[in-house]
């Protein structure tokens, strides 16, 4: 069955950072299923090579590039290589990120603070800036930044991560304004509790009852799957979202509101 025109990404080239596992990998594969050729980057060559094979199984071209997006010079090399080898660049998904453990603010090591801010905020700026010359040449240019509900509501113990993700949402708004004149849309997805491989591993290791916590915390009473986050990301990258820019879409199962009655 053919896709509706506004969801069809045939002929477009996308790059997804941090795409060896998790939401990034699921997004890269879905982009390919919608018709895009996809470049993926990450720090582990074995993981991105495996993801690239999954992309090729869809019939689309794939390019796996090992890169550290915390380093501006590597970001420029990455974007230039993708545009040169795949012909052009239309879609940038700034997905690379993550928190490094739970640390109270009172004992936060400044070096660890800087590390989380660089990975979750600065890297998106480096990649976006490096991609800009190529995106200017596209008629379907867009950037989708992957934030977190922690950037909306805050999460104790991961202050650097939460602050960086909040900053990423404001970066989205400013970039959308500054670059909208070039026809470049910039949007953001704020993910909630998503069952990535790393999340499941962490839940098992700590004995955390994710299902129970989700039932108490979210309107849908469950945690999300990687493919559900990917669907929202790819929507923002498609022409179905052609008049949406500067926005942050929460993908977190809905709020649990306090009230005067008990509900099942």
- Annotated catalytic residues are 161
Residues 6+ apart with CB under 8 A from 261: none
Looking up tokens 């989708």, which residue turns up? 144
**Residue 222: Cβ within 10 Å count:** 14
Record the tokens describing residue 110, joined without a space.
Answer: 């400044």
First vs last Cα of the chain: how many Å apart?
Answer: 39
Is the distance from CB of 224 to CB of 194 less than 8 angstroms? yes
CA distance 44 to 8: 30
Residue 223 DSSP one-character state: P
Record the tokens describing residue 96, joined without a space.
Answer: 């690379």
């Amino acid at each position: 069955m053919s896709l509706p025109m506004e969801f069809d990404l045939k002929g477009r080239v996308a790059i997804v950072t941090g795409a060896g596992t998790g939401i990034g990998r699921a997004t890269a594969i879905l982009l390919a299923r919608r018709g895009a050729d996809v470049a993926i980057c990450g720090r582990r060559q074995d993981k991105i090579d495996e993801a690239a094979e999954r992309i090729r199984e869809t019939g689309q071209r794939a390019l796996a590039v090992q890169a550290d997006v915390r380093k501006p010079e590597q970001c420029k090399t990455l974007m230039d290589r993708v545009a040169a080898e795949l012909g052009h660049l239309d879609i940038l998904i700034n997905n690379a990120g993550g928190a490094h453990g739970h640390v109270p603010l009172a004992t936060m090591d400044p070096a660890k603070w800087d590390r989380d801010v660089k990975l979750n905020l600065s890297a998106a700026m480096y990649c976006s800036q490096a991609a800009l010359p190529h995106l200017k040449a596209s008629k379907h240019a867009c950037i989708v930044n992957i934030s977190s509900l922690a950037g909306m509501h805050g999460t104790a113990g991961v202050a650097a991560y939460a602050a960086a993700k909040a900053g990423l949402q404001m970066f989205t708004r400013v970039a959308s304004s500054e670059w909208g004149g070039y026809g470049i849309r910039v949007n953001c997805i704020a993910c909630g509790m998503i069952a990535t491989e790393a999340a499941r591993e962490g839940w098992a290791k700590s004995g955390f009852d994710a299902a129970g916590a989700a039932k108490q915390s979210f309107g849908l009473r469950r945690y999300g799957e990687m493919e559900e986050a990917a669907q929202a990301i790819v929507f923002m990258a498609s022409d179905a979202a052609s008049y949406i820019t500067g926005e942050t879409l929460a993908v977190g199962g809905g709020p649990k509101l306090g009230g005067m009655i008990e509900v099942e």
